[in-house]
Amino acid sequence: MASMDTARRAPPRTFFLNDPVVRGVFYQIVVAVLVVLFLVWIVNNTAVNLRAQNKTSGFDFLWKTSGFDISFSLFHFDRASFYWEAFLVGLTNTILVALVGIVFATILGFTIGIARLSSNYLVSRLATVYVETIRNVPLLLQLFFWYFAVLKAMPAVRDSIALPFDTFINQRGLFVPRPLFDEQFGWVLAALAVSIVAWIAISIWARRRLEASGRRFPVFLTGLAITVVLVAAMWLLSGAAVTFEIPVLNRFNFKGGIELPPELVALVFGLSIYTAAFIAETVRAGIQSVSHGQTEAAQALGIKEGDRLRLVIVPQALRVIIPPLTSQYLNLTKNSSLGAAIGYPELVNVFTGTTLNQTGRAIEVIALTMLVYLILSLSTSALMNWYNARVALVER
Residue 137, pLDDT above cutoff 90? yes
Q: What is the CATH number of the domain that holds 326?
A: 1.10.3720.10
* 88 located within any domain: yes
Q: Region 4-19: what's the mean pLDDT?
A: 59
* 314 located within any domain: yes
Per-residue model confidence as pLDDT tens digits over 25-65: 888 898 999 999 998 888 788 777 777 777 777 788 899 99
pLDDT attached to residue 181: 86
Residue 139, pLDDT above cutoff 90? yes
Q: Give the confidence band of 8 by pLDDT, cuts at 50, 70, 90.
A: low
* 287 located within any domain: yes
* 272 located within any domain: yes
Per-residue model confidence as pLDDT tens digits over 81-118: 999 999 999 999 999 999 999 999 999 999 999 999 88
* 179 located within any domain: no
Q: Give the confidence band of 250 by pLDDT, cuts at 50, 70, 90.
A: confident
* 62 located within any domain: no
Per-residue model confidence as pLDDT tens digits over 176-232: 998 888 888 888 889 889 988 988 888 888 878 877 877 778 877 888 888 888 888
Domain count of the chain?
Answer: 1
Per-residue model confidence as pLDDT tens digits over 315-350: 788 888 899 999 999 999 999 999 999 999 999 999
Task: Give the domain range for residue 130.
Answer: 83-160+260-391
pTM of the model: 0.81
Backbone angles phi, psi at 118, to 5 degrees: -65, 145
* 94 located within any domain: yes
Higher confidence at residue 286 or residue 51?
A: 286
* 22 located within any domain: no
